[in-house]
């Protein structure tokens, strides 16, 4: 069955599609994908993983088409970061004559 494994850092991202046999776990698929060689900083003992944005465990058995996501640790407290101002949208109606 085909599944995907994704991981991203600010400077690059990787999305790998691999074939795995039925009964493969999240951990087995991550190891088979080779993503741990591309990103040696990944630590499966401490980093969380998910399938389609929903947290899961390394021993979860995969289904066809699953997208495994490896999440980076939060490095900044979101409560202390100032929100970036959204760019102002142009006024509707165009220019006045």
Query: 6 lies in which domain range?
Result: 2-70
User: pLDDT digits over 1-30, tens only?
Assistant: 999 999 999 899 999 999 999 999 999 999
Closest CA to 63 of 15, 11, 25, 18: 25
| Residue pLDDT, tens place only, 37-66 | 999 999 999 999 999 999 999 999 999 999
Whether 75 is in a domain gets the answer no
Cα–Cα distance for residue pair 61/64, rounded to 1 Å? 10
- CATH code of the domain covering residue 19: 3.10.20.280
**Residue 26 belongs to a domain:** yes
How many other CB atoms sit within 10 Å of the CB of residue 74?
Answer: 7
Residue 90 in any domain: the answer is no
pTM of structure? 0.75
Residue 19 lies in a domain: yes
**Does any domain span residue 27?**
yes
The domain tally of the chain equals: 1
């Amino acid at each position: 069955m085909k599944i995907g494994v994704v991981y991203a850092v600010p400077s690059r991202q990787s999305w790998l599609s691999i074939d795995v046999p039925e009964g493969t776990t999240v951990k087995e698929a991550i190891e088979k994908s080779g993503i741990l060689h591309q990103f040696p900083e990944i630590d499966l003992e401490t980093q969380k993983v998910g399938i389609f944005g929903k947290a899961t465990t390394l021993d979860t058995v995969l289904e066809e088409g699953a997208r495994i996501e490896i999440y980076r640790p939060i490095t900044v407290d979101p409560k202390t970061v100032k929100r970036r101002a959204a760019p102002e949208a142009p006024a509707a109606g165009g220019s006045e004559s």
